[in-house]
A = this chain, B = another copy of it.
Amino acid sequence: MFTKVLIAEDFDSINIALIQTLESMGVKEIEHAKYCDDALLKAKKAIQDKTPFDLLISDLSFETDYRTVTLKSGEELIAAIRQIQPTIPVLVYTVEDKSFVIKSLVEDLKVNAFVHKGRNSISQLKTAMETILFGGTFVSQNLAHALKENSFNEIEEYDIQVLTHLSNGVTIEEMEQLFKNKDIKPNSKSYIEKRISKLKDIFKAKTTIHLVSLSKDLGII
């Protein structure tokens, strides 16, 4: 089993449960941080002390409060820790279940396991840890389908920009100018219109409002 585990999770209640679970699994050293910045510090210190962590369990979203932070999300934390300790296995434990998010996490950040907080997540967490120990990759069942989903491959960064701008109240006409100013390449009104139309097809959205609404639900924007 892992011997020294770092937990990055803001909710105290979940921290309690995680610590209890890890203890019951025989993990000797457990440290937890409620802020990503603190987690990174702990990881750095552990390396300096020549006793690095051998597993990181991290949440994705962290609430903002009075404290100003450098690392705002689990994604940023994972990237930062991988910089100083590239081989550390990472287990993501989160409520997130948006296909788009998960896809990028597994593919880009190469997290070793993905456990969805839910009714039976603790048992999944245990399985995930054992799987990582044997060099495998674990993704919660209810998420597995997301990786296979294909329709999202058609959607690119450009579409996300368009959707985001729409969501923020930018009209198509304004977007044309905005793109021209920022030198973003396809920037004609007509092209943007076509793109929106295509997205409506993909999402089977009835109106543009519907499209933006769906995109928010799917976590794309």
Contact = CB atoms under 8 A, between A and B. Distances in A.
Interface in A90-120: 117-120
Contacts of A122: 12-13, 16
B10 A21 contact: no
Contact of A34 (B117, B119, B142, B208): B119
Q: Is chain A's binding surface mostly helix, strand, loop or mixed?
A: helix
A63 interface: yes
Can you tell how many copies of this chain the complex includes? 2
Contact of A210 (B16, B65, B119, B167): B167
Contacts of A166: 207, 209
Contact of A12 (B65, B121, B216): B121
A118 B11 contact: yes
A205 interface: yes
A3 interface: no
A210 to B, nearest CB: 3
A207 B171 contact: yes
Contacts of A12: 17, 118-123
A213 interface: yes
A68 interface: no
Interface string A2-37: 000000001111111110110000000000001000
Contacts of A20: 16-17, 20
B121 A13 contact: yes
Interface in A158-206: 166-171, 205-206
A129 interface: no
A128 interface: no
A212 interface: yes
A118 B10 contact: yes
A11 B59 CA distance: 15
Contacts of A206: 168-171
B118 A63 contact: yes
Nearest 8 A/B pairs, CB to CB: A169-B210, A169-B206, A13-B17, A16-B17, A167-B213, A17-B17, A169-B207, A12-B122
7 contacts: A14-B14, A16-B16, A16-B17, A65-B119, A208-B209, A209-B212, A213-B213
